[in-house]
Structure 1
């Protein structure tokens, strides 16, 4: 049986993240002159290395997933050069950490947490796991996310991208879907080589052109609060406020609660 070295997978994920961010950072973003003749999207490796004050060869090793270990100062310099936002900086540090933790972690939902959504009825509420599995929900959430809880092992990302009702429920589907995928992509980066995340990635990318295009961008997002438009089964559009809360003992599990705006 072949085993995967978690450190190797983490270095590969680090390289993929750096490359994606570099290709989405334009010369204008960092005060460099542009050129119509540029073949490389975004910054060239040598340009980023110069901005970060490191050698091009050493930076190239990072993108290639070589066994090099950047210091906190170097990571900060690269983050500054790429103009990374706070969540992206945290993701960069997490990927650069040497961690031999198991790639698969059991998604155990404590009974006292599983009971919370029912206590919040009639406000829609649900708990998602690290790969966006729906671990617990109340009747109001099942009514709000029509079709999402009708299958065995329901998954919010799978519903958003693959269920035919999702685009009807979500008038701002593209915006919501990009946010869901960015948060899923962020979590997947913390579990390099995880069969659970890889299966979900392959399923979404194979069936959804949007998921396939957006996954390669490697956008980073964290759970948040905000406002979301939804459409009921009767065709009525409603605006709901929502807030997300991490479970203290399982920080990758998130309770999300909605209420009318």
Structure 2
């Protein structure tokens, strides 16, 4: 059995198992008496998806048929597939995965925010689908100079800060900043196919081309790269050089969210410097304000 045949057979098995777990009552159909096998009949799925029974039967038999995206959506609706099952259906049918429109406001759960704070003094933050900082812990606020009251039009954009924020340039220092900025830009370019037609993306790119000569020079290169864990070093204005292992984790129930963690490299004094910075912050916070 070649790869295409195996994929079609897996698609057939997947459709059959999804069909068998549903009852007619669950999908708004009349039961119609006793059934020899559990679940819906093929003709009932075809009726729900508004496709021909013979054609749907060929699909469940693993035959060489090629459903369109619209037909797959209809079948997924009829079988009441979850978002993860829909993605699996499209991949088995050799179709590009579904790109869901983003929520107007990406939400970081309270549990995930507690994870961020529990990681202190290790800097950690969460980036959303649009490459915006969504949440961060106290350590990240100090190291990356993040502000919760930013007012610039793209203030929370990772890419905007990389190319326009003087503090971001200083902590990466030259020539490291150029290397990091080009890597960030190539990763952003790789993701850009997911949102190239969206207004926020067009506006961000236009604004960056207007204000950043480096972005203006590098964007036309079309360099792309995947995200990769790596060593990163920063120069903090108070505690000096810091060396981290950068790790990216995906949030399972919200795959558009990425958890970025900067773990101090063993054998360096980064951990001690971070703790020192956090202790200083705790003292300053506890001091009464002078009036």
Assess same fold via TM > 0.5: yes
- 1:131 and 1:188 in contact (8 A); partners too: no
**TM-score (structure 2 length as normaliser):** 0.52
Is it true that 1:169 corresponds to 2:176 in the alignment?
A: no
Q: Structure 1 residues 250 and 222 mapped into 2: Cα distance closer, same or farther (>3 Å)?
A: farther
Report the Cα distance in structure 2 between the residues aligned to 1:247 and 1:123, rounded to whole angstroms. Answer: 18
Aligned pairs (5 A) from 1:1-261: 104-106=102-104, 107-147=106-146, 149-152=148-151, 154-171=156-173, 172-234=176-238, 236-261=240-265
Per-residue CA deviations over 1:19-78 (Å, capped at 9, x if unaligned) read xxxxxxxxxxxxxxxxxxxxxxxxxxxxxxxxxxxxxxxxxxxxxxxxxxxxxxxxxxxx
Instruction: Give 1 or 2 for the bigger CA radius of gyration.
Output: 2
- 1:225 and 1:244 in contact (8 A); partners too: yes
Greater relative contact order (Cα < 8 A, sep 6+): 1
Displacement after TM superposition at 1:155 (Å) = 2.1
Displacement after TM superposition at 1:234 (Å) = 2.2
Report the Cα distance in structure 2 between the residues aligned to 1:184 and 1:208, rounded to whole angstroms. Answer: 16
Look up the match of 2:30: none
State the number of aligned residues: 167
SS in 2 for 1:181: helix
Report the Cα distance in structure 1 between the residues aligned to 2:207 and 2:161, rounded to whole angstroms. Answer: 12
Displacement after TM superposition at 1:101 (Å) = 5.1
Report the Cα distance in structure 2 between the residues aligned to 1:150 and 1:231, rounded to whole angstroms. Answer: 24
- 1:159 and 1:166 in contact (8 A); partners too: yes
Q: Structure 1 residues 100 and 252 mapped into 2: Cα distance closer, same or farther (>3 Å)?
A: closer
Structure 1 unaligned blocks of 5 or more: 1-92
Q: Structure 1 residues 224 and 178 mapped into 2: Cα distance closer, same or farther (>3 Å)?
A: same
**TM-score (structure 1 length as normaliser):** 0.57
Per-residue CA deviations over 1:178-217 (Å, capped at 9, x if unaligned) read 1111122222211131112112111212111111222111
Displacement after TM superposition at 1:255 (Å) = 0.5
